[in-house]
């Protein structure tokens, strides 16, 4: 069985981490392509200043996406610190997860360009929801299939809770986009929900 060419019960988790780290580093850096230098035919200082001001939603999308991707990268690393073995199911869960991670630059550009509308914000939150829920499913799979450290099993309940926090926030953010008066202030404010992460983290840790 060990010699089976297609047997992958012995996947080295380090190898998955390498792919994950690569995709994250690139997705993070591609976010900047969502802030496009305006093409101005007869520029002046005032016009260039205004162009930067007009890019503020793009900068906002850049910063929040960078922050959220970093949070997910951090959680993934915490998980893999405890994962001693990987199997086929985990590999494909992680690859499906990367599909949505690598999609974030698109979602970020979408809210950068049309952040005042509801559709792009819902799309952005759904993208983050998919990332969060797949990370949760990966951790649950790792616990259930005995792929983790013993130390992690003792603490599995808070860890699962922590992993549900992020997809829950995405659902709340989607709900927020339906608040009637939000339209006037701009749907982009729905992302403010994610700034709860540092505070919630401390609450779960204690």
Residue 201 within binding range of its own copies, rule CB under 8 A: yes
Residue 15 within binding range of its own copies, rule CB under 8 A: yes
Q: Which of 9, 54, 99, 144 binds its own copies (CB under 8 A)?
A: 99
Residue 45 within binding range of its own copies, rule CB under 8 A: yes
Residue keyed to tokens 């259930």: 144
Q: Which of 9, 21, 54, 186 binds its own copies (CB under 8 A)?
A: 21
Q: Please, is 136 exposed, middle or buried when counting C-beta atoms within 10 Å of its C-beta (0-12, 13-18, 19+)? A: buried
Segment interacting with its own copies, rule: CB under 8 A, options 90-98, 129-137, 167-175, 188-196: 90-98
| Per-residue H/E/C for 48-98 | HHHHHHHCHHHHHHHHHHHHHHHHHHHHHHHHHHHECCECHHHHHHHHHHH
Segment interacting with its own copies, rule: CB under 8 A, options 22-30, 127-135, 166-174, 188-196: 22-30
CB of 49 to its own copies, least distance (A): 5
Segment interacting with its own copies, rule: CB under 8 A, options 115-123, 130-138, 166-174, 189-197: 115-123
Using alpha carbons, select from 121, 79, 110 the residue that is nearest to residue 97. 79
* Site for its own copies, residues 120 to 159, rule: CB under 8 A: 120, 123, 151-152, 154-155, 158-159
> At CA 75, angle to CA 98 and CA 89, rounded to 5?
50
């Amino acid at each position: 069985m060990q010699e089976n060419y297609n047997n992958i019960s012995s996947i080295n988790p380090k190898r998955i981490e390498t792919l994950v780290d690569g995709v994250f580093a690139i997705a993070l850096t591609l976010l900047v392509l969502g802030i496009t230098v305006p093409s101005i035919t007869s520029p002046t200082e005032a016009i260039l200043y205004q162009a930067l001001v007009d890019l503020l939603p793009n900068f906002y999308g850049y910063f929040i996406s960078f922050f959220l991707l970093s949070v997910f990268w951090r959680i993934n690393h915490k998980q893999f610190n405890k994962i001693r073995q990987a199997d086929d199911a985990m590999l494909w869960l992680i690859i499906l997860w990367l599909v949505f991670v690598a999609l974030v630059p698109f979602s970020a550009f979408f809210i950068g360009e049309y952040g005042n509308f509801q559709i792009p914000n819902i799309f952005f939150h759904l993208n983050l929801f998919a990332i969060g829920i797949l990370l949760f499913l990966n951790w649950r799979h790792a616990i259930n299939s005995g792929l983790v450290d013993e130390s992690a099993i003792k603490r599995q309940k808070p860890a699962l809770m922590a992993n549900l926090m992020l997809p829950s926030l995405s659902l709340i953010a989607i709900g927020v986009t339906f608040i009637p008066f939000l339209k006037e202030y701009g749907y982009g404010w729905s992302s403010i929900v994610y700034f709860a992460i540092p505070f919630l983290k401390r609450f779960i840790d204690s």
